[in-house]
């Protein structure tokens, strides 16, 4: 089966591409290798994919922007993918406050191009990355997919919510099966250097102070990368179906009369930020110098996923504890950075 993975040099895209190749899929990866963070990390990920067994015949990579429609069409025409997993996006909540246009171009214009290509080439299933950020000002925990997600507190979150609405339109108008995944703070080896856990680990390892926002009064539903990848792969052959019993009088925004679904994909066991930092300290065997700061614009204080819907649909059940996940990440971090 031919699977197109956008954002293939990114954190989740790399891990997904690697696992799909190991399972024998034909994988087409695309990425623009932008410099939002060090491109060396992205190129190192690609080098691993190129070196996998059978990658010479099952792995194809193209450096393109998804907002460049003609380049995207060429890839679809050349390979005729059956499944598309769209992970390409301009990431980062705080950066979206500084450069909102980058998010509009990549996350909205680019995603529109993905939808058009999926429609034109009759893709069997489009899986795309949304985010727990869409819950925004929602204070009721845990977050359920049927709860409101219409008060985003960052441009990044607004673009991801827009993706969900755009996907529904295509599912309705063109019967394109789409599944949106609201990721909850994914972490692990080969992760993004702009993420808090990576920043903390790097600073503590160097003996530098770390900034802790909202004075540490935060909880996050940290989700280990291996669990996320297993969840995505479980969905590849589990396309959403039309819901003939859809309740039009009391509509669930995560479902539809069309082949459309939205799922939370998280660990469903939120951890206090200070406990998370303590796990990093223990793994590094070093104490952090802590500087406590007020909450940052665009941040939310707590996240907690309810994953019953995804579990019922595909059997998704995360298995990795915070301690296990952090230890594995720190072990990789030391090796990768020569510590």
Most distant CA atoms of the chain, gap in Å? 59
As for how many domains the chain has, the answer is 1
Domain membership of residue 193 (yes or no) is no
Catalytic residue among 128, 156, 170, 187: 156
DSSP symbols for 157-198: HHHHHHHHHHHHHHHHHH---EEEEEE--EE-TT--TTSHHH
Domain membership of residue 12 (yes or no) is yes
**Rounded to whole angstroms, how far apart are CA atoms 234 and 85?**
13
**pLDDT tens-digit readout, 22-67:** 999 999 999 999 988 899 999 999 999 999 988 889 999 999 999 9
**pLDDT tens-digit readout, 98-156:** 788 889 999 999 999 999 999 999 999 999 999 999 998 888 899 999 988 889 888 89
**Rounded to whole angstroms, how far apart are CA atoms 228 and 161?**
20
Work out the number of other CB atoms within 10 angstroms of the CB of residue 61.
18
Domain membership of residue 254 (yes or no) is yes
Domain membership of residue 90 (yes or no) is yes
Confidence of residue 295 (pLDDT cuts 50, 70, 90): confident
**pLDDT tens-digit readout, 207-263:** 999 999 988 899 999 999 999 999 999 999 999 999 989 999 999 999 999 999 999
Sign of CA dihedral 144, 145, 146, 152: positive
State the residue range of the domain holding 130: 2-188+225-267+303-318
Asked if residue 292 lies in contact with residue 215, where contact means CB atoms within 8 angstroms, the answer is yes
> Would residue 135 show up in a list of annotated catalytic residues for this protein?
no
Which domain CATH number covers 114? 3.40.50.720
pLDDT of residue 88: 96
pTM score, whole prediction = 0.95
SS3 letters across 305-328: ECCHHHHHHHCCCCCCCHHHHHHH
Asked if residue 215 lies in contact with residue 294, where contact means CB atoms within 8 angstroms, the answer is yes
pLDDT of residue 230: 98
Domain membership of residue 157 (yes or no) is yes
Domain membership of residue 314 (yes or no) is yes
Domain membership of residue 332 (yes or no) is no
Asked if residue 179 lies in contact with residue 311, where contact means CB atoms within 8 angstroms, the answer is no
Domain membership of residue 112 (yes or no) is yes
Work out the number of other CB atoms within 10 angstroms of the CB of residue 34.
16
**pLDDT tens-digit readout, 148-178:** 888 988 889 999 999 999 999 999 999 999 9
């Amino acid at each position: 089966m031919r699977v197109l993975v956008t954002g293939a040099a990114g954190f989740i895209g790399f891990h997904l591409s690697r696992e799909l190749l190991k399972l024998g899929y034909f994988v087409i990866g695309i990425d623009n290798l932008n410099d939002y963070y060090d491109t060396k990390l992205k190129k190192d990920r690609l080098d691993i994919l190129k070196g996998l067994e059978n990658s010479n015949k099952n792995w194809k990579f193209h450096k393109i922007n998804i907002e460049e429609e003609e380049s995207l069409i060429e890839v679809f025409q050349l390979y005729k993918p059956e499944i598309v997993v769209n992970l390409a996006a301009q990431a980062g909540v705080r950066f979206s406050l500084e450069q909102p246009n980058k998010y509009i171009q990549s996350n909205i214009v680019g995603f529109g191009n993905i939808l058009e290509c999926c429609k034109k080439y009759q893709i069997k299933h489009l899986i795309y990355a949304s985010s727990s950020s869409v819950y925004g000002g929602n204070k009721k925990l845990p977050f359920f997919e049927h709860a409101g997600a219409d008060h985003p507190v960052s441009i990044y979150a607004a673009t991801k919510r827009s993706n969900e609405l755009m996907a529904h339109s295509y599912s309705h108008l063109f019967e394109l099966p789409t599944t949106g995944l609201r990721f909850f703070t994914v972490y692990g080896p080969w992760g993004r250097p702009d993420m808090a856990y990576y920043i903390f680990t790097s600073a503590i390892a160097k003996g530098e102070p770390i900034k802790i926002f909202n004075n540490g009064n935060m909880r996050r539903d940290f989700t280990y990368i291996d669990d996320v990848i297993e969840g995505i792969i479980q969905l590849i052959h589990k396309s959403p179906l039309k819901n003939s019993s859809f309740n039009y009088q009391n509509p669930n925004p995560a479902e539809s009369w069309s082949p459309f679904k939205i799922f939370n994909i998280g660990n469903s066991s939120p951890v206090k930020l200070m406990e998370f930092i303590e796990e990093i300290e223990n793994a590094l065997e070093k104490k952090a110098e802590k500087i406590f700061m007020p909450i940052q614009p665009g941040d939310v204080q707590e996240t907690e996923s309810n994953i019953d819907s995804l579990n019922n649909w595909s059997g998704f059940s995360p298995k990795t504890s915070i301690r296990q996940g952090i230890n594995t990440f720190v072990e990789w971090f030391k090796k990768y950075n020569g510590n």
